[in-house]
Amino acid sequence: MRNGKEEASVDVASPALPSVAAGGPGRPRRAVVVRWAVHAAWVAGLAFVTELRVGRFGFHPTDQGFILAQAWRVLQGEVPHADIISARPLGSAILHVADFALPGPLFFSSSVFAMVEIIFATIAFAALVMRRPVRTWGAGRTALVAATALINLNGFPLMAWHTVDGITLTACGAWALDAGLRSGRALPRLGGLVLLGSAVFMKQSFVPAALIGLAWTLSYPDRRRRLVPDVLALGAFGIGYLAWVTAGGGFGEMVAQLTGGIPVYGERLLGLWLDDPGALMLPPVRELTFFAAIAVVLVLVRLTGDRLGVAGRAASWLLALGGAAAVVWTMVDGRFTGSSRWADVLWWILAMAVVVHATVCKRLPWAGLLVLATGFMTSLSWGNDTPTLLTGSLALTALLLVAGILPERALVRRRFARPWVTATAGLTIVALCGWMVVAHHDEAAYHDLSHDKLTADLGTVSPAMAGIRTNPATFAYVAQIRDCLNRYPAGRVAVLPDNPFAYPAFGLRNPFPLEWPLPAEIVGDAPERMLATADRLNREGDYLVIFETVSNETLADGGPVPASVPPDTPNVDYTGLENAIRAKLTGRPVVCGSFVGKWSS
């Protein structure tokens, strides 16, 4: 979009649909309500069914509870950075305070909410790329977007997570901003800017989202009149966050923590084949080579215009089908595993699709560029430096951009895109994508065993985890924590180092400023503050600090988890900090199953 003028629509095969304006002339308001109700129903239904069949199977005590643990601390009135050390802004912790108000068991409901976020982000990106309002989507388009959401989930665990939050706020913010700028309405425009500005505080890698929002709103007419309210909306969340942290005495700590982490530049994504050019002929990177070859020929054919006649039009469609096959086969070859680099391949395929569309149409597809940029922001990670959580949207956007340059699309739609055909095709795609997601998770859940070995319900250990199923070894491990809490009651409890889930699951008050002291999370003055907390606990008493002796890798493999260990058993220690805390604490040595620790009543 340029200077307030809408780009040409990028359509998928489906019948022409009526305008979204107020439900159409003469259309009863009830019909509009019904349309929205149908869309709300499929979003809620897909999220719940996905959690019921996929998300609740498999549990790992590390990151499946990390954000919830931080949200629990915020709920207790603790101030980000002053009381909670974090290498990232704690916007996600603030957002997921809402999870504690959801109906149902905490971990189950939080997972459903995470899937709703993924679906919303998928809808927002699809609406922007298709240039078709959601209320005008038929069954075919809706099913296609539902399938895309499942591909976006792929093998990722359903849990509260800052990257999911950043993607969702970026997508929905851009969607609202676009609607507000095109319609001239202030509320969606300002709301979209608030969301884009908030994305920055989920994770630093989403800083470009705010810059994109600012550039976007400034590219429209009357920008001088809107400049002050737009900038204030963009910075609203940040202003509130900084004011809160500063009032709590954490401004200096915030600066040290947010600038003290390990920098990431997206070099793994950008250098996909540079380390090994031979990968261009190996799966799944070979699909990128195939797509690139097709893209070059397709551009040449389309730039000839009508000079090639029927042969040119037929060749364009055949080439586009070949490109679609490359996209689909990338997902098949990738097997939903990060090690295959399939998400990186899809990102590069989309980059080529953007170039193809821009070259043929003589204008930049801004929505495609937004998805591409969000994929890059998503890849800026320590542990998952790839745009895996955006794979479905990357694939769908690439297909739509290529479809947008094909000749005689309207004729093809009239002849082939009957409602029953598009609905049947869409539902078939949903079924196939759902089967792929279920099969992958059943084979090996995130850091857990296969579906048939997830026989233990953690709800018997903690009501907050009702419905979550795991392997017997992890179940025994979690039960040992509960038994220890019952045997050695204390007002302040820490379970170190890999168990952030325990705090929200059992309602514990963690006296230390870190939930999960991994090496990368140790920023600012974290070591000094952790050790100072141990000294304070010695002075004040009423604490229980236990340390795991079973590694998280052992739990992921299904054990063994011993029923008891000697008091001097070495504990898991990543940086020497856990051993230093254990040595410093002067409480009574205790053993709780496979855990060792110190207790002071």
Q: What is the pLDDT of residues 545-584, one digit of tens each?
A: 999 999 999 999 999 999 999 999 999 999 999 999 999 9
Question: Residue 46 phi/psi, 5° resolution?
Answer: -65, -40
**Torsion 267-273-274-275 (CA) sign:** positive
What does the pLDDT look like over 488-529, one tens digit per residue? Answer: 999 999 999 999 999 999 999 999 999 999 999 999 999 999
Rounded average pLDDT over 368-395: 96
**Torsion 229-234-240-245 (CA) sign:** negative
Cis peptide leading into residue 61 (ω within 30°): no
Q: Among 574, 578, 465, 524, which Cα is nearest to 106's?
A: 465
Q: How confident is the model at residue 15 (pLDDT cuts 50, 70, 90)?
A: very low
Rounded average pLDDT over 222-242: 95
Distance separating alpha carbons of residues 486 and 315, to the nearest angstrom: 72
Neighbouring-strand partners of residue 595: 548, 592
Residue 371 has pLDDT above 60, yes or no: yes
**Predicted pLDDT of residue 116:** 98
Rounded average pLDDT over 210-239: 94
Distance separating alpha carbons of residues 358 and 15, to the nearest angstrom: 25
Q: To which residue do tokens 């586009």 refer? A: 320
Element of type H or E holding 35: helix 29-50
Residue 331 has pLDDT above 90, yes or no: yes
What does the pLDDT look like over 274-327, one tens digit per residue? Answer: 888 999 999 999 999 999 999 999 999 999 877 888 899 999 999 999 999 999
Residue 16 has pLDDT above 60, yes or no: no
3-state SS assignment for residue 478: helix
CB atoms within 10 A of CB 32: 15
Question: Residue 516 phi/psi, 5° resolution?
Answer: -140, 85
List b or e across 193-221, with b for residues whose CB sees 16 or more CB atoms inside 10 angstroms: bbbbbbbbbbbbbbebbbebbbebbeebe
Q: Are 508 and 515 in contact (CB under 8 A)?
A: no
Share of the chain above pLDDT 70, in %: 95
Q: Among 503, 523, 508, which Cα is nearest to 68's?
A: 503
Q: Which residue has the higher pLDDT, 73 or 337?
A: 73
Strands 595-600 and 492-496: unpaired
**Predicted pLDDT of residue 1:** 39
Rounded average pLDDT over 246-270: 95
CB atoms within 10 A of CB 574: 15
CB atoms within 10 A of CB 371: 28
Residue 484 has pLDDT above 80, yes or no: yes
**Cα three-residue angle 65-68-73, rounded to 5 degrees:** 125
**Predicted pLDDT of residue 223:** 87
What does the pLDDT look like over 155-196, one tens digit per residue? Answer: 999 999 999 999 999 999 999 999 999 999 999 999 999 999
Q: Which amino acid is at 507?
A: G
**Predicted pLDDT of residue 563:** 97
Q: Are 67 and 96 in contact (CB under 8 A)?
A: yes
SS (H, E, C) 490-555: CCEEEEECCCCCHHHHHCCCCCCCCCCCCHHHCCCCHHHHHHHHHHHHHHHCCEEEEEECCCHHHH
SS (H, E, C) 175-233: HHHHHHHHHCCHHHHHHHHHHHHHHCCCCHHHHHHHHHHHHHHHCCCCHHHHHHHHHHH
Rounded average pLDDT over 453-472: 98
